[in-house]
Amino acid sequence: MQNSLLLLSSYFFYACWDWRFLFLLLFSTMLDYYTGIKMSDAPNKKARRIWFWLSVGVNLGFLGFFKYYNFFAVSFAEGIANLGLHVDPWTLQVILPVGISFYTFHGLSYVIDIYNDKIKPERNFVNYSVFVSFFPLLVAGPIERATHLLPQIIKPRVFNKAKAVDGLRQMLWGFFKKIVIADQCAGYANEIFNHSAHYSGSTLVLGALFFTFQIYGDFSGYSDIALGTAKLFGIDLLRNFAFPYFSRDIAEFWRRWHISLSSWFKDYLYIPLGGSKGGTWMQIRNTFIIFMVSGFWHGANWTFIAWGALNAIYFLPIMLAKKNRNHLEIVAQGKLFPSFRELFSIAVTFALTVLAWIFFRANSMTHAFQYIKKICSASLLKMPKFAGMEGYLVTLLLIVVFMMMEWIGRENQFAIANIGKQWRRPFRYAMYYALLITIFWFVGKEHQFIYFQF
């Protein structure tokens, strides 16, 4: 009964966006549920392999059709045009189903794990359907694994007050990240990026910084809300962020940013390709493949592929020097302040990350290069100035306070997990109400979650 209620709620939640695409979610769920059972019951390896590739092919086919068809059609026409031929590409006027990249990867990991004999198929359709469509993670992750989530769904759950309180606390912090940090940064970032040709290099640097905190507050805020909501139902989802802007190198950054996607590509793409076991050229090839595919997963635009390739370039020297596993522990663990060396490493890694985010946010490759070129001009020395800049200093101050709280709570699952727990109740609740009042104070123009488009 618990799972039936969760399933109906999840389908209603998805249908509120666009009920027509609920049939696509249902089809994808039924396909992987059925092929999982058929693979397990297959009389031989050949039949097993046929069912496996049927599921993978159909899943990737739907994803490619809705998400990448127009990109390939336009890119093909542009490539032909460079040869002196003119082709009018036939594009589709169809919206991208929200969450398709996430629930497709849920199903793919389930089918791959069955094919590799890591799990047995779930024969209860309701249980499996909840795994695919559990509403907190349905539209923007984290990308769950059947090995982690299905056992929690199968067993009955009893309300746990301590877990629920922790979940509410995590949701509170997630809403703060989204509304107070991400949404306030979004207005400034959009203004600067959308009119970058009219602004100085210093203003463009400010725009890149605003987007850097916008995307972090937006996506990690959603993840905190999703994880906190799941705890109310007695379910623990995979952690998706671990304070990535305190990373000391790019390898550590990718262990802390969108963890569920990074680990998915590592387990289902990087390792099957040979990982780091082969020669130098194989390691370089696999690194570029995984980063560029990760970029392409984010969207059908060359800017995302460039973003992935740039991160691969960042990562290669660390990997080739065999230093990509150097920073596994939390920075300055048990200390209030980092060392000068740690602070310098964090600053360099953060600067490289900000540069890469320019490609992620830019409308095109031309836009990205023009943006960076303007930053490198003499106008970098001018005072930042842009339309609607009133109040931007308040936003910068909020970012500073936000990062201070993140730093204080960096050894926990989320920033305020333990902050105030030892305080007397009036002081602890004063902090929670201060966060709540701040959230309502800054509620304004609605900004859709960035990762809804992926």
The span from the CA of 292 to the CA of 309, in Å, is: 5
For residue 70, the model assigns a pLDDT of: 72
Q: What is the mean pLDDT of residues 144-167?
A: 94
| Residue of higher predicted confidence among 178 and 63 | 178
For residue 421, the model assigns a pLDDT of: 82
For residue 72, the model assigns a pLDDT of: 67
Supply the residues annotated as catalytic: 298
For residue 87, the model assigns a pLDDT of: 62
> Binning pLDDT at 50, 70 and 90, where does residue 90 land?
low
For residue 18, the model assigns a pLDDT of: 84
Asked whether residue 81 carries a pLDDT value surpassing 70, the answer given is no
Asked whether residue 164 carries a pLDDT value surpassing 80, the answer given is yes
Asked whether residue 66 carries a pLDDT value surpassing 80, the answer given is yes
C-alpha closest to that of 139 among 39, 48, 229, 40: 229
Asked whether residue 405 carries a pLDDT value surpassing 70, the answer given is yes
For residue 97, the model assigns a pLDDT of: 84
> Binning pLDDT at 50, 70 and 90, where does residue 389 land?
confident
> Binning pLDDT at 50, 70 and 90, where does residue 318 land?
very high
Say which residues have a Cβ less than 8 Å from residue 384's Cβ, sequence separation at least 6.
200, 202, 203, 205, 206
> Binning pLDDT at 50, 70 and 90, where does residue 91 land?
low
Q: What is the mean pLDDT of residues 218-237?
A: 96
Would you say 155 and 416 are in contact if contact means Cβ atoms under 8 Å apart? no
Lowest mean pLDDT among 81-85, 342-346, 415-419: 81-85
The span from the CA of 163 to the CA of 172, in Å, is: 14
Give the angle subtended at the CA of 140 by the CAs of 239 and 397, to the nearest 5°: 75
> Binning pLDDT at 50, 70 and 90, where does residue 420 land?
confident
Q: What is the mean pLDDT of residues 353-381?
A: 95
Secondary structure string (H, E, C) spanning the chain: CHHHHHHHHHHHHHHHHHHHHHHHHHHHHHHHHHHHHHHHHCCCHHHHHHHHHHHHHHHHHHHHHHHHHHHHHHHHHHHHHCCCCCCCCCCCCCCCCCCHHHHHHHHHHHHHHHHCCCCCCCCCHHHHHHHHHCHHHHCCCCCCCHHHHHHHHHCCCCCCHHHHHHHHHHHHHHHHHHHHHHHHHHHHHHHHHHCHHHCCHHHHHHHHHHHHHHHHHHHHHHHHHHHHHHHHCCCCCCCCCCCHHHCCCHHHHHHHCCHHHHHHHHHHHHCCCCCCCCCHHHHHHHHHHHHHHHHHHHCCCHHHHHHHHHHHHHHHHHHHCCCCCCCCCCCCCCCCCCCHHHHHHHHHHHHHHHHHHHHHHCCCHHHHHHHHHHHCCHHHHCCCCCCCCCCHHHHHHHHHHHHHHHHHCCCCCCCCCCCCCCCCHHHHHHHHHHHHHHHHHHCCCCCCCHHHHC
For residue 177, the model assigns a pLDDT of: 97
Q: What is the mean pLDDT of residues 315-322?
A: 91
| Residue of higher predicted confidence among 72 and 133 | 133
Task: Look up the pTM and report it.
Answer: 0.92
| Residue of higher predicted confidence among 173 and 138 | 173
For residue 450, the model assigns a pLDDT of: 78
Average predicted confidence (pLDDT) for the chain: 91
For residue 454, the model assigns a pLDDT of: 64
Would you say 37 and 160 are in contact if contact means Cβ atoms under 8 Å apart? no
Would you say 344 and 194 are in contact if contact means Cβ atoms under 8 Å apart? no
C-alpha closest to that of 452 among 141, 168, 158: 141
> Binning pLDDT at 50, 70 and 90, where does residue 301 land?
confident
> Binning pLDDT at 50, 70 and 90, where does residue 325 land?
confident
Q: What is the mean pLDDT of residues 134-141?
A: 90
Asked whether residue 149 carries a pLDDT value surpassing 90, the answer given is yes
